[in-house]
Amino acid sequence: MTSFRQRGFFSREAGGQMFARLSPNHWKIEAATGPRRNDRRGRFHFWPDRKAEQEEINLFYEQGLEFVGDWHTHPEDVPRPSRSDITSVENIVRESVHQLPGILMCIVGRRAPPRGLWLSFHAS
Ligand SMILES: [Zn+2]
């Protein structure tokens, strides 16, 4: 994910999904997908290809990995979620059909982790 950090002025937002192997006390994130060819990307916006997302969810599920949240980049050093980021993660939590206690949101800023990485948990 950090290879898509928006360091150049014209670089575009990127994003994808995160998949984890779940045990009672741990989520071990084993895969992060994206960006995809059919995503629409701008400097301040990222609109994922929803059909491709569902295909990824099905594919990883067969390998024992559950969708646990989304990631995307921001053109700022230390990333903070925007109002629309919060709205969109709340919609995912509300609409999701699985049994998880919530969803992760990861935002990749321009600085190296950990300062340049936002990670939050949104309970259902
Ligand atoms: Zn954002």
Domain of 50, in residue numbers: 2-123
How would residue 40 be classed by pLDDT, with cut points 50, 70 and 90? confident
Task: Answer with the residue of higher pLDDT: 104 or 39.
Answer: 104
Would you give the DSSP letter of residue 110?
S
What is the total count of domains within the chain?
A: 1
pLDDT tens string 65-93:
999 999 999 999 999 999 999 998 998 88
pLDDT at 83: 93
- Could you tell me if 60 and 67 are in contact, meaning their C-beta atoms sit under 8 angstroms apart? yes
CATH of the domain at 55: 3.40.140.10
CA torsion sign, 80 to 85 to 89 to 91? positive
CA 61 – ligand 1 centroid, Å:
26
Neighbours of ion ligand 1 (CB under 5 A): 82, 85
pLDDT of residue 124: 84
Q: How far is the CA of 83 from the centre of ligand 1 (A)?
A: 8
Q: How far does residue 80's CA lie from ligand 1's centre (Å)?
A: 8
Ligand 1 centroid – CA 101 distance (Å): 22
Which pLDDT value is given to residue 95? 83
